[in-house]
Structure 1
Amino acid sequence: MMKGEDSEEVEIDLGDSSEPEEFDNGEEPETLWRALPAPEEEENIHTSTLVEISDTKPLINVRDPRGINDCLKVSFEDVIAEPVSLRSGDRVWIWSNALFEVSRVWIYRVFAVLLAIPVSIISGLLFAIFSCFHIWMVSPCIQCLSMGTRWLQSLWSIVLDVIVHPFVKSAGRCCGGFRVHLAKE
């Protein structure tokens, strides 16, 4: 503020008064400011409305729900470990740990950007081709063969019941009388 200018106070209405006569229609006033989120809400503060509406939201939070890549949970101590008898300086250990973590994360992110989209397209294409081939070729052929060979299935069932089953059962009873005793001498 410059000298010589008259200063006047300006009152700013934030619209947060709770006087009931201002809102007779039952609607809540429009809030122009927002309180800080609670700690449990803080993790969801950066999710957009599109993500909240999306049906793939659980996939964003849990990216390996079946634990397929549990073998890749690697930390610095799993890769580099110093025995008690040989130790580097604390600063060297801290910086190497930090560089390991940063390089691991960023190199993965770079390769993921370069490979994720092409690999996703190729694998989606392959799965679509295999699914189409299975649905329209393999399954109908198997059903046709199954319908055409019902008599063969019945004949095979009779052969197993009449010839193979009694033979195997009698061989099992004959061999069931043997006892094997192992002893250390």
Structure 2
Amino acid sequence: MKKDEDLEEMEIDLGDSIDPEESENEEEPQTLWRAQPSLDEEENIHTSTLVEISDTKPLINSRDPRGINDCLKVGFEDVIAEPPSVRSGDRIWIWSNAFFEVSRVWIYRIVTVLLAIPVSVISGLLFAILNCFHIWMVRPCIQCVLIGTRWLQSFWSIVLHVTVVPFLTSAGKCCGGLGVHLTKE
């Protein structure tokens, strides 16, 4: 690219620049993009794995990496909304929001405790049966049909190239010179 062209410059602040004007306390600025140093192993000897597992620190960061369930991202404001002309008290709105979020989270957790493992086992069994059926029955049958009808595929390809392709090629060349101009009346 030429430097003469108008380019919009974008400045990205990573928060690690050391300007005397920005650092008033003469402390080193914290860099948020660097990994924090790990603790010594001696300090973690008495920590059990149950203490490390909590609701605030998820074991798996991305549980929906492909965005399959984006439609389920529902918040309180998506379900309940008050127009400006009709409003309840602020305390009622805050408590309603809190009860909505708590009941949504805890009912989901209770239902998943009851259903997650059985549904996972049934789904795994179903997918295993479907995979086995497809690998050992459907695909070999398709291959047998394709091997047996290879002559038909070749014959059909020849028929298309002899009859249809010349007609479509000539129609394309005839219509290729046409132009459409739209005017506003």
Question: Does the TM-score normalized on the shorter chain lie above 0.5?
Answer: yes
Kindly provide the CA deviation profile for residues 19-51 of structure 1, in whole angstroms up to 9, marking residues without a partner as x: xxxxxxxxxxx95xx38xxxxxxxxx7149xxx
Instruction: Indicate the residue corresponding to 1:80 in structure 2.
Output: 80
Aligned to 1:89: 89
User: Which residue of structure 2 lines up, in the alignment, with residue 46 of structure 1?
Assistant: 52
Matching residue of 1:163: 163
Cα RMSD after superposing both structures: 2.8
Deviation string, structure 1 residues 150-185 (Cα, Å, up to 9, x no partner): 222221221121111111112223334444454444
**Residues in 1 aligned to 2:179 and 2:84: alpha-carbon distance in whole angstroms:** 57
Identity of aligned residues (%): 76
Distance 2:74 2:113 in 1: 21
SS of 2:52's equivalent?
coil
Q: Structure 1: state its 5+ residue gaps.
A: 1-29, 36-44, 49-57
In the alignment of these two chains, the number of paired residues is 137
Are 2:180 and 1:174 aligned? Answer: no
Distance in 2 (CA, whole Å) between partners of 1:59 and 1:175 is 61
* Superposed displacement of residue 137, structure 1: 0.8
Contact 2:53 2:59 in 1 (8 A): no
Which structure has the larger Rg over C-alpha atoms?
A: 1
**One-letter code aligned to 1:146:** L
The separation in 2 between residues aligned to 1:178 and 1:61, in whole angstroms, is 56
List, as ranges, runs of 4+ consecutive aligned residues in structure 1 with deviation greater than 6 Å.
none
Gaps of 5+ in 2: 1-40, 45-50
Q: Distance in 1 between matches of 2:73 and 2:183?
A: 47
> Which residue in 2 is equivalent to 1:148?
148
Deviations 1:104-150 (A, max 9, x none): 11111122122222221221121111111110011111111222222
Task: Provide the residue aligned with 1:139 in structure 2.
Answer: 139
1:1-150 alignment runs, 5 A limit: 34=43, 46-47=52-53, 60-150=60-150
Instruction: Provide TM-score, normalisation by structure 1.
Output: 0.63
